[in-house]
A and B are shown apart, each in its own frame.
Chain A
Amino acid sequence: MVLKSALITGGSRGIGKAIALSLVGITDTLFINYLEQDTAATETLAELELKGVKVYLLKFNLAFSSEIQLMFDKINEYTEQLDIFVHCAALTTFKPLHKIKPNQWDLTMNITAKAFLQCVQLSTPLMRAGGKIVAISSTGSQRFNANYGALGVAKSTLEAIVRYLAVELAEKNIQINGVISGLIMGETLPPFPEIEKIVELTLHRTPARRLGTPQDVAKAVLFLLTQADWMYGQNIILDGGYCLT
């Protein structure tokens, strides 16, 4: 198997880290973008390098186009080819949508959706031999979740970008899909108001009778990256059956 290089945004912990670890054996070079968590990023780097992957940590703020450009300038210094891009980065505040302020809206949209588009635009010149791109969305894009409005709309936008780019970039042999994740347990559990109540209600309605794990999402991403050769522009739901009930 030809080893590939990959970029993961929001890759220092949680779902992003699980995806990074799942790419061991698929990639020999990983670019991990993160915003804040230096310690987590360093630990992830150490863990991956022990497994033989060359890791570059990219601490850039995806809220700003100028920083995304700088991040890709750095990637271009290290490689001439990128094969995989996975967008996990997201940021928001949890409150009713009608109370979201303009700066809060902009920050949520910029990091969650706009950054994805710009990263794809800057990734594609490096995907000379084709590439695979996956965006991580969440079920709040599909239906109402209390206090999730801003991120729900941003994720919905992300999914629409996936569909459009999948068609536009198919001729370049670049395949784009998304994973819509339900509630994930562990460190990635959002700092929601009344999160314990939400977890209880979610578990009650989930046929699988458990929340997801970062590894559940990573497995689906790995499937999209390595197996789903005929899948284009799909956002697949991964929620233990919650959306069916």
Chain B
Amino acid sequence: MLTPTLIESKLRTIIARSLQIPEKTVHLNSTLMLDLEAESIDILDIRFIIEQTFGFKFHINEITNALTQAAAEHALTMDDIPKLFTVQILYDHILFRLNLKND
């Protein structure tokens, strides 16, 4: 059975494998594009593997819309979005889609 702990572990594995980095460097508060140096195609790759692993599809707009909203709330600009795009954002979205936690 999928638990939040197991989901976090699987997510960290997915990101580490996709980006070819040690799993221990992937934390919930790591920013994908700044700390982990993920490029846009890497985000797509990670998304695809999340979909395969957890059995649901999602559009990256679901994430970016939330980030845009968060940026506006913090009076940040679009250029600041990479600072907000953390592993936690993906983790929360997975929990939300699996009905394990409200987004």
Interface size on B, residues (CB 8 A): 15
Nearest-neighbour CB distance to chain B for A204, whole angstroms, equals 30
Give a binary string over A91-106; 1 marks a CB under 8 Å from any B CB, 0 the rest.
1110100000111100
Stretch at the interface among B36-44, B65-73, B78-86, B93-101: B36-44
Assess A102 versus B41: contact at CB under 8 Å? Given A61-B48, A64-B52: no
Instruction: Count how many pairs of residues, one from A and one from B, have CB atoms less than 8 Å apart in the complex.
Output: 34
Contact partner of A103 (CB less than 8 A), chosen from B45, B52, B59, is B45
- A36 located at the interface, meaning its Cβ lies under 8 Å from any Cβ of chain B in the complex: yes
Assess A92 versus B51: contact at CB under 8 Å? Given A36-B59, A102-B20, A103-B20: no
Beta-carbon contact of B39 and A93 below 8 Å: yes
- A107 located at the interface, meaning its Cβ lies under 8 Å from any Cβ of chain B in the complex: yes
**Chain B residue with minimal CB distance to A150?**
B41
In chain A, residues 57-72, which have Cβ atoms closer than 8 Å to a Cβ of chain B? 59, 61, 63-64, 66
- B18 located at the interface, meaning its Cβ lies under 8 Å from any Cβ of chain A in the complex: yes
Beta-carbon contact of B20 and A107 below 8 Å: no
Beta-carbon contact of B48 and A93 below 8 Å: no
Give a binary string over A69-85; 1 marks a CB under 8 Å from any B CB, 0 the rest.
00000000000000000
- B89 located at the interface, meaning its Cβ lies under 8 Å from any Cβ of chain A in the complex: no
Contact partner of A104 (CB less than 8 A), chosen from B41, B48, B51, B57, is B41
- B19 located at the interface, meaning its Cβ lies under 8 Å from any Cβ of chain A in the complex: yes
Complex Cα spacing A63 to B48, Å:
8
A36 CB contacts on chain B under 8 angstroms: 59
Nearest-neighbour CB distance to chain B for A112, whole angstroms, equals 13
Beta-carbon contact of B51 and A103 below 8 Å: no
B44 CB contacts on chain A under 8 angstroms: 91, 107
B41 CB contacts on chain A under 8 angstroms: 91-93, 104, 107
Complex Cα spacing A105 to B95, Å:
30
Beta-carbon contact of B45 and A107 below 8 Å: yes
In chain A, residues 22-70, which have Cβ atoms closer than 8 Å to a Cβ of chain B? 36, 38, 59, 61, 63-64, 66
Complex Cα spacing A213 to B19, Å:
36
Specify which of A63, A103, A104 lies most central, judged by the most chain B CB atoms within 10 Å of its CB.
Answer: A103
B59 CB contacts on chain A under 8 angstroms: 36, 38
**Chain B residue with minimal CB distance to A95?**
B39
Assess A101 versus B20: contact at CB under 8 Å? Given A92-B41, A93-B39, A93-B41: yes
Complex Cα spacing A101 to B37, Å:
12
Specify which of B39, B41, B44, B52 lies most central, judged by the most chain A CB atoms within 10 Å of its CB.
Answer: B41
**Chain B residue with minimal CB distance to A107?**
B45
Give a binary string over B23-55; 1 marks a CB under 8 Å from any A CB, 0 the rest.
000000000000000011110110010011000
Nearest-neighbour CB distance to chain B for A111, whole angstroms, equals 10
Assess A104 versus B20: contact at CB under 8 Å? Given A61-B51, A63-B48, A64-B48: no
A95 CB contacts on chain B under 8 angstroms: 39
Assess A103 versus B40: contact at CB under 8 Å? Given A36-B59, A61-B48: no
Nearest 6 pairs between A and B by C-beta? A93-B41, A103-B18, A103-B45, A104-B41, A107-B45, A63-B48
| A–B Cβ pairs within 8 angstroms, 15 of them | A36-B59, A61-B48, A63-B48, A66-B52, A91-B41, A92-B41, A93-B40, A103-B17, A103-B19, A103-B20, A103-B42, A103-B45, A104-B39, A104-B41, A104-B42
